[in-house]
Amino acid sequence: MLRFLVRRVLLVLPVLFGLLVLTFILVRIVPNDPSAALAGQNATPQQITEIRAKYGFDRPLIIQFFVYLKQVAQGDFGTSIQSGRPVVTDIGQRLPATLELTFAALGLGVFLGVPLGTLAAVRHNRMLDHVVRFFTVGGIAIASFWLAIMLQLLFAMQLDVLPLRGRLSAIMDAPPTITGLYLFDSLVTGRFDIFWNALHHITLPAITLSFGSLATITRFTRSGVLETLQKEYVQYETAVGYPRWLLVSVYVLRNSVVATVTQIGLLFGALLAGSIVVEAIYDWPGIGSYAVLAIFTSDYKAILAMTLLVGVIYAAVNILVDVIHGVIDPRVAEQM
Amino acid sequence: MLLFRRFLRDISAVIGLVIVLATIVVAIFAPWLAPKPLDAHESHPVERLQGPSREAPFGTDNLGRDVFSRVILGSRAALSVALLVVSGSLLIGVPLGLLGGYGSGWTSETIMRVTDVFLAVPQLILALAMAQLLGPSLKNAMLALTLTYWPFFTRIVYAETRRLKTSVFVEALQGLNASSFRIMFAHILPNAAPPIIVRATIGMGFTILTAAVLGFLGMGATPPDPEWGLAVAESRQYLPEAWWFATFPGLAIFLVVFGFNLLGDGLRDVIDPRLRRSR
Amino acid sequence: MRTRSWLVLALALAVALGAGPAHAQSVMVWGDNLPANVDPHALYDVPSSFIQLNVYDNLYRYEGNPPLLKPWLAESYTASKDGKTWEFKLRKGLTFASGDPLAAEDVVYSYKRVMSMNKAAAGPFKAAKIASVTAPDANTVRFALEAPYAPFLSIVPVLTVVNKKQIDPHVKGDDLGFGWLSSNSAGSGAYVVDPSGYIPQKQLDLKRNPQHFAGWGHNPKPIDVVKARDIAETATRVNALIKGEIDIGDSYLPTDQVARLQKEKGVVVQRNESMRIFVIRMNNSKPPFDNVNFRRCMSYAFNYGDFIGVILKNFAERNPAPMPKNLWGYPKDVKGYDFDLKKAQAECDKAKAAGAPINREIKLHYQAQLDQTRQAGQLFQSDLKKIGLNVSLVTDTWPNMTAATAKPETSPDMWIHWVSAYFIDPENWIGTMYDSQFHGTWKASSYYKNAKVDELLRAARAIPEQKERTRLYAEAAKQIVEDAADIWVYNTVELRGVSARVKGFKFSPVGSGNELRWMHLE
pLDDT per position as a tens digit, C276-285: 999 999 999 9
| A33: contact with B, CB 8 A cutoff | no
What's the fold here for domain C57-165? D-Maltodextrin-Binding Protein; domain 2 (3.40.190)
Q: Which chains touch A (3 or more CB pairs under 8 A)?
A: B, C
Is the domain of A226 the same as that of A124? yes
Partner-chain contact A157 B253, CB within 8 Å: no
Query: Do C17 and A192 count as a contact with CB atoms less than 8 A apart?
Result: yes
Contact present, C517 and C222 (Cβ < 8 Å): yes
User: Pick from B45, B136, B236: which is nearest to C235 by CB?
Assistant: B236
Give all chains having 3 or more CB-to-CB distances under 8 Å with chain C: A, B
Which residue among B121, B133, B250 sits closest to A19, beta carbon to beta carbon? B121
Most B-contacting residue of C310, C362, C364, C413 (CB-CB within 10 A), to test interface = C310
Query: Going by C-beta distance under 8 Å and a sequence separation of 6 or more, which residues neighbour residue A183?
Result: A100, A104, A195, A198, A199, A202
In the predicted structure, residue C1 carries a pLDDT above the cut 60: no
Same domain (yes/no): A184, A118: yes
Q: Judge whether residue C18 has pLDDT over 50.
A: no
DSSP per-residue string spanning C370-415: -HHHHHHHHHHHHHHHHTT--EEEEEE-HHHHHHHTTSTTTS-SEE
**Comparing A220 with C326, which gets the higher pLDDT?**
C326
- Whether residue C510 contacts residue C66, with contact meaning beta carbons closer than 8 Å, is answered with no
B20, B109, B125, best to mutate vs chain A, most A CBs in 10 Å: B125
Interaxial angle between packed helices A300-328 and A287-296, expressed in degrees from 0 to 180 and rounded to the nearest 10: 150
Calculate the alpha carbon distances from A266 to A2, A101, A133, A262, B120 in Å.
Answer: 23, 17, 21, 7, 11
Q: Does residue A231 sit within a domain? A: yes
Chain B residues with CB under 8 Å of C385 CB are 41-42
Cβ–Cβ of C233/A39 closer than 8 Å?
no
CATH number of the domain within which A261 lies: 1.10.3720.10
Residue A137 sits at the chain B interface (C-beta within 8 Å): yes
Q: Is C311's CB within 8 Å of B222's CB?
A: no
pLDDT, one tens digit per residue, over C215-242 is: 999 999 999 999 999 998 888 999 999 9
Q: Say which residues have a Cβ less than 8 Å from residue A31's Cβ, sequence separation at least 6.
A: B133, B135, C410
Interface confidence, given as ipTM, is 0.85
Q: Is the pLDDT of residue A38 over 90?
A: no
Q: A234 and A192: one domain? A: yes
Smallest CA–CA separation between B169 and chain C, in Å? 55
Question: Are residues A65 and A97 both part of a single domain?
Answer: no
> Which of C149, C156, C169, C165 lies closest to C111, judged by CA?
C156
Q: How confident is the model over C443-482, as pLDDT tens digits?
A: 999 999 999 999 999 999 988 889 999 999 999 999 999 9
Domain assignments of chain C as residue spans, ordered by start? 57-165, 274-493
pLDDT tens per residue, range C376-431? 999 999 999 999 999 999 888 777 788 788 889 999 999 999 998 989 999 999 99
Residues A187 and A252 in one domain: yes
How close does chain B come to C235, measured CA to CA in Å?
A: 4
Residue A20 has pLDDT above 70, yes or no: yes
**Domain contains A116:** yes
**C187 touches C56 (CB < 8 A):** yes
A96 lies in the same domain as A24: no
Task: Determine, yes or no, domain membership for A12.
Answer: yes
Q: Based on the domain organization, do A160 and A257 belong to the same domain?
A: yes
Q: What is the pLDDT of residues B22-42, one digit of tens each?
A: 999 999 999 998 888 888 888
Rg of chain B taking only CA atoms, in angstroms: 22
User: Which CATH topology does C274-493 take?
Assistant: Dipeptide-binding Protein; domain 3 (3.10.105)
Test C235 with B42 for CB contact under 8 angstroms.
Answer: no
How many percent of chain B have pLDDT more than 90?
Answer: 31
CB B242 within 8 A of CB B65: no
Reply yes or no on whether the pLDDT at C362 is more than 80.
yes
- pLDDT confidence bin for A234, thresholds 50/70/90: low
Q: Which residues of C touch A82 (CB under 8 A)?
A: 36-37, 200-201, 399
| A82 → closest Cβ in C36, C117, C199 | C36
Range picked from A123-132, B261-270, C198-207 for highest mean pLDDT: C198-207
My answer on whether A283 and A180 are in the same domain is: yes
Could you tell me the strand order of the sheet in which C316-318 lies? C316-318, C487-499, C267-282, C414-419, C362-367, C391-396
CA distance B133 to chain A (A): 6
pLDDT tens, C254-304? 888 898 899 999 999 999 999 999 999 999 999 999 999 999 999 999 999
Residues of C in contact with A41 (CB under 8 A): 44, 119-120, 123, 402-403, 441-442
- Domain contains A127: yes
The answer, yes or no, to whether residue A5 has pLDDT greater than 90, is: no
Chain A interface, best mutation among C44, C155, C236, C242, by max A CB count within 10 A: C236
Q: How far is C442 from chain A (nearest CA, A)?
A: 7
C400, closest residue in chain A (CA to CA)? A297
- In the predicted model, is pLDDT for residue A6 greater than 90? no
Minimal CA separation from C102 to chain B, in Å: 46
For chain A, the domain total comes to 2
What chain B residue is nearest to A220 in terms of C-alpha separation? B277
Residue C217's contacts (CB-CB under 8 Å, 6 or more residues apart) are: none
Query: What whole-number distance in Å separates Cα of residue C187 and Cα of residue C485?
Result: 41
C118 falls in which pLDDT band (50, 70, 90)?
Answer: confident
| A251 lies in the same domain as A176 | yes
A147 and A181 belong to one structural domain: yes
Can you give the residue range of the structural domain that contains A48? 8-73
Q: Residues A69, A95: one domain?
A: no
- Do A220 and A106 fall within a single domain? yes
Mean pLDDT of A308-327: 80
Taking a contact as any Cβ pair under 8 Å apart, which residues of chain A between 52 and 71 contact chain B?
A: none
